[in-house]
Amino acid sequence: MKIIDNVYSVGVVDRDVRIFHGYFTPIGTTYNSFLVIDEKVTLVDFVKEKFTDEFLNNIEGILQGRTIDYIICNHVEPDHSGALPRVMEKYPQAMVYGTANCEKGLKAYYPHAKYNFTVVKLGDALNTGKYNFKFIPMPMVHWPDSMSTYLEEEKMLFSNDAFGQHTGTGEVLDTENGLDKLIDRAGDYYANIVLPFGMQVTKLIQTVSDLDIKIICPSHGVIITKYIPEIIQKYISWSKNETDDKKVLIVYDTMWGTTKKLAEQLEKEYTNKGFEVEVINLTEEHYSHAMSRVLEAKYIFVGSPTLNNNMLPSVSAFLTYMKGLKPKERIGKAFGAYGWSGESISQINEILLSCGFETEEPLKALWNV
């Protein structure tokens, strides 16, 4: 599919993927890849291995017998590099460009693949005729090898995972579903993938702020054309861990309904105080959905009854996941029901403290309220 003259999307839509390394993707995702036609032909990124046939067909549909001269591998994670071995079999003369960490990762993932690799760093460029690609390594956004590439003459940023969204609906452009949907999906992605790397995102934003960007082509989701200032502004805010002082998120699971009653009690109390409260029951929603709501909430209240001297496994999974994603400067509160020992509440409180949160006095209920 043509994006603009000389630039084509050749990636694939994965409508069926539902778990993406622990992250629930209810509408699937895309693995975006782009072909740039010039005196030399450049492929930007690969796709996940299982889509290689479709990917090669997409490429051939555009090239009609021409070959690929250059391949820019912005990121080694297999959703963007899995097709490499078969692409290299078909286009063995293509030179691959990426960071030093990308080279190491590709060697480890595809030890039998044959290709020539050129290591690039910030400031390096690739000329393909009338076009110049400028390389912008962005280590830890979100892997050590991660990189963006800027196509100077078309003012396009191939941003890889930055600005991505897991949108596997077949939509191509941000204009198809509006700003709110874009920000909602990009926020969900940021919370579940990028959140621990705020400092590195800040560096990336500083680097790209000098560029005139007309189109952002992330490696997942829709291409951003209209809402570039808005998405960059959101990335700045998320990278600073900015939260809404009026947002309360209540995440819980329940055995016999008492912890649910406590959640409802907290919801009522904080709504009456003027807060915007969202309640998530982990039996009904995946923990990664709860994580997406952590992104902008100042208050994170977590509840579980005590089962076998522990919290429920669903709550433990959420807390483990949230702790790894390192949200900062939140206020937590543990709550839960118990029958005799009641360890879950203190365990939750400890984990909230270990996340670096301040905590409010826990809320407990013996048997029932």
Quick check: is 220 catalytic? yes
- What is the number of alpha carbons within 13 Å of residue 356 lying toward its C-beta? 10
Pairing of strands 70-72, 41-44: parallel
Residue tagged active-site, from 79, 174, 188, 296: 79
- Which is nearer to ligand FEO, 77 or 171 (by Cβ)? 77
The residue among 161 and 171 lying less far from ligand FEO, judged by its C-beta, is: 161
Which of 14, 77, 103, 171 is catalytic? The answer is 77
CA dist., res. 280 & res. 291, Å (int)? 10
Of 40, 80, 247, 330, the one binding ligand FEO (CB under 6 A) is: 80
Q: Where are the beta strands (DSSP E) in 116-243?
A: 116-119, 125-127, 132-137, 147-151, 156-160, 215-218
Over the window 178 to 217, marking each residue x when it contacts ligand FEO by CB under 6 A and - when it does not, the resulting string is: ----------------------------------------
Residue 38 in the binding site for ligand FEO (CB under 6 A): no
Task: Supply the minimum distance, in Å, between the C-beta of residue 239 and ligand FEO.
Answer: 17
Hey, is 346 helix, strand or coil?
helix
- Minimum CB distance to ligand FEO, residue 73 (Å): 12
Q: Is 101 helix (H, G, I), strand (E, B) or coil?
A: helix
Tokens of 367: 């048997």
The question of whether 286 is a catalytic residue gets the answer no
DSSP-assigned letter for residue 224: B
142 annotated active-site = yes
Binding mask of the shown chain, residues 107 to 146, with x at each position contacting ligand FEO by CB under 6 A: -----------------------------------xx---
Q: Which residue is catalytic, options 75, 80, 166, 289? A: 75
Q: Catalytic site residue 161?
A: yes
Please give the Cα distance from 260 to 309 (Å, whole number): 19
How far is C-alpha 69 from the geometric centre of its chain's CA atoms?
30
Q: Which is nearer to ligand FEO, 132 or 169 (CB)?
A: 169
Enter the tokens of residue 43: 């492929």
Looking only at residues 57 through 76 of this chain, which bind ligand FEO when binding is defined by CB under 6 A? 75
Q: Does the annotation mark 166 as catalytic?
A: no
| CA pair distance 191, 294, nearest whole angstrom | 8
Q: Which is nearer to ligand FEO, 142 or 333 (CB)?
A: 142
- Is 54 in the active site? no
Two structure tokens written together for 204: 């990336």
Q: Which of 14, 161, 171, 296 binds ligand FEO (CB under 6 A)?
A: 161
Establish whether 45 is a catalytic residue. no
# chain residues binding ligand FEO, by CB under 6 A: 9
- Check binding of 48 to ligand FEO (CB under 6 A): no
Contacts for 268-277: CB closer than 8 Å, 24+ residues apart: 270/299, 274/246, 275/246, 275/247, 275/248, 275/299, 276/244, 276/246, 276/247, 276/248, 277/247, 277/248, 277/249, 277/250
- Residue 79 is a binding residue for ligand FEO (CB under 6 A): yes
Binding site for ligand FEO (CB under 6 A): 75, 77, 79-80, 142-143, 161, 219-220
Which residues are catalytically annotated? 21, 75, 77, 79, 142, 161, 189, 220
